[in-house]
Amino acid sequence: MKVILQEEVANLGTTGEVVEVADGYGRNYLLPRSLAVLADERNTRRLDHQRRLAAARQSKVLAAAKELAAKISGTAVSIKRQAGAEDKIFGSVTNQDVQEALAAQGVEVDRRNIVLAEPIRNIGVFQVPIKVHRDVEASVKVYVIRG
């Protein structure tokens, strides 16, 4: 029996795959639990249509992510901190601080997407990577200055 998986099933396949299963497994387990539908002509056409819609939606999201990445890359932010000897700042600059500085300039980014290996603890200029989309990454220039 050929079925189209509606959800990911362990040891069988992922959503949208057409797989061949035993008649009893499909009829008694997959179909009643709505984990799969029969792979007839109607359902196959519907799957193709859903894939086309998902691809179009994904291309729009990717285009918006690239636009945001271009906007972020052209942005530089300044963060003021008190500093002691040898340009060591009191405290640190975290991804939350970078997010607030970007928001002040009109660029909205989720702080979890700002990739800082470790907090910034010195005065200087730093390139901070930002994951805009799983395929798109931007970098913002952060100036940490004495305040």
Predicted pLDDT at 28: 96
pLDDT in tens, 130-144: 999 988 999 999 999
Is there a contact between 5 and 16 (Cβ–Cβ < 8 Å)?
yes
Superfamily of domain 2-66: Ribosomal protein L9, N-terminal domain (3.40.5.10)
For tokens 């387990």, what's the residue? 29
Residues of the chain with CATH 3.40.5.10: 2-66
- Give the mean model confidence (pLDDT) for residues 36-55: 92
**pTM for the model:** 0.69
Is there a contact between 5 and 35 (Cβ–Cβ < 8 Å)?
yes
Predicted pLDDT at 147: 79
Q: Tell which residue, 2, 4, 1, has the closest CA to residue 43.
A: 4
Residues of the chain with CATH 3.10.430.100: 76-146
To the question of domain 76-146 being in CATH 3.10.430.100, the answer is yes
DSSP 39-77: --HHHHHHHHHHHHHHHHHHHHHHHHHHHHHHHHHT-EE
